[in-house]
Structure 1
């Protein structure tokens, strides 16, 4: 009966078992305070209710402390993480630029014009080639750049 009552309020069976045991231990220790004319079940449920309230207060305080701790850690690490991110971003950009410089001239030209916002059709006309050839060059350049940057970052 008590375990069912406690279990209806808690979601974890290990907490239910522990709290039920605490209820019975408390009842045993305070058995001399029980009124023999009273309802023993109601007395046990009262102890269980009080134990549950204490448990909820404790877990709420613990949760608040953990949340505050996480916020403080995040604040402490935020600056360092930002520096690392910027450093990594700078390194990745440098690696990308090195890789672009290693591309064959025609591919490098297609990539740079694309980065500058030149439309593929205008680039095809400038290089006297088809639009499909520009897309193909861009695809091959992207594949080579992906592999090169990955190798540079390792």
Structure 2
């Protein structure tokens, strides 16, 4: 029995290290959003949205505060496929910054998604830079989401 103790201990140590790597947690650092003229908030249903489910925010203080609320939230990486699955089964709200007051199709320079249950998904590492793997909050933040909806007068 004693002969196997070092092997068992080493195996347990390796397993613990692998587990830590799989669930690596980091604090979200929000990039400077001062470039944005507008924040578009859209409720997405079945991967589509309408004008009735879109609100444009142009007040710089509100845009800044919306993103500052996310600073320091604990996040971990997740696969894009898993994000897609989660978005299919939850109300989804996309927060997208724009350099103009017009909504355009194509890449969003910076943004995030909140699911109806308070899950936060961040797809950018910096303005104009999409992450290879999205980040997802380690906890639900329904309180933050509800506050954002109230402050931005989101009623959909």
Band of TM-score, shorter chain = under 0.3
Q: Which has the larger radius of gyration?
A: 1
Structure having greater relative contact order (Cα 8 Å, sep ≥ 6)? 2
Q: TM-score, length-normalised on structure 2? A: 0.25
Structure richer in strand, relative to its length = 2
Q: TM-score, length-normalised on structure 1? A: 0.25
